[in-house]
Amino acid sequence: MASNLPETMTAMGFDAPGGPDVFRAETLPVPVPTGKQVLIKVDHAGVNRPDVIQRQGFYPPPPGASHIPGLEVSGTIVAIGNEAPPEMLNRRVCALVSGGGYAEYCLAHAEHCLSVPQGMDMATAAAIPETLFTVWHNVFERGWARDGETFLVHGGTSGIGTMAIQLAKEFGLKVVTTAGSDEKCEAARGVGADLAINYKTDDFVEKVNEFTNGEGADVILDMVSGDYVQRNLDCLAVDGRHVTIAVLGGLKAEINMAKLMSKRQTLTGSTLRPRSDEFKALLADEIYNHAWPLFEDGTVAPVMDEVFPLTEVGAAHARMEAGDHIGKIVLKVSGED
- Digits of tens for pLDDT over the chain (337 positions)? 555 899 999 999 999 999 999 999 999 999 999 999 999 999 999 999 999 999 999 999 999 999 999 999 999 999 999 999 999 999 999 999 999 999 999 999 999 999 999 999 999 999 999 999 999 999 999 999 999 999 999 999 999 999 999 999 999 999 999 999 999 999 999 999 999 999 999 999 999 999 999 999 999 999 999 999 999 999 999 999 999 999 999 999 999 999 999 999 999 999 999 999 999 999 999 999 999 999 999 999 999 999 999 999 999 999 999 999 999 999 999 854 4
The domain that holds 162 is classified in CATH as: 3.40.50.720
249 and 135 inside one domain? yes
**Cβ(55)–Cβ(18) below 8 Å:** yes
**How many residues belong to the chain?**
337
192 and 118 inside one domain? no
Angle, vertex CA 78, rays to CA 75 and CA 83, nearest 5: 110
253 and 155 inside one domain? yes
Which residue range(s) make up the domain with 219?
Answer: 131-269
Identify the DSSP state of 22. Answer: G
263 and 283 inside one domain? no
| Nearest residue to 88 via CA among 113, 71, 123, 64 | 113
C-alpha to C-alpha distance for 133 and 129, rounded to whole angstroms? 6
Total number of domains in the chain: 2
| Nearest residue to 104 via CA among 3, 8, 4 | 8
What is the DSSP code string of 145-157?
--TT-EEEESSTT
302 and 265 inside one domain? no
| Domain membership flag for residue 291 | yes
| Domain membership flag for residue 3 | no
Q: List the beta bridge partners of residue 96.
A: 72
120 and 137 inside one domain? no
The helix/strand/coil state of 296 is helix
Q: List the beta bridge partners of residue 115.
A: 93
Boundary (domain end) residue, out of 252, 269, 286: 269
| Domain membership flag for residue 215 | yes
C-alpha to C-alpha distance for 197 and 191, rounded to whole angstroms? 14
Angle, vertex CA 103, rays to CA 301 and CA 159, nearest 5: 25
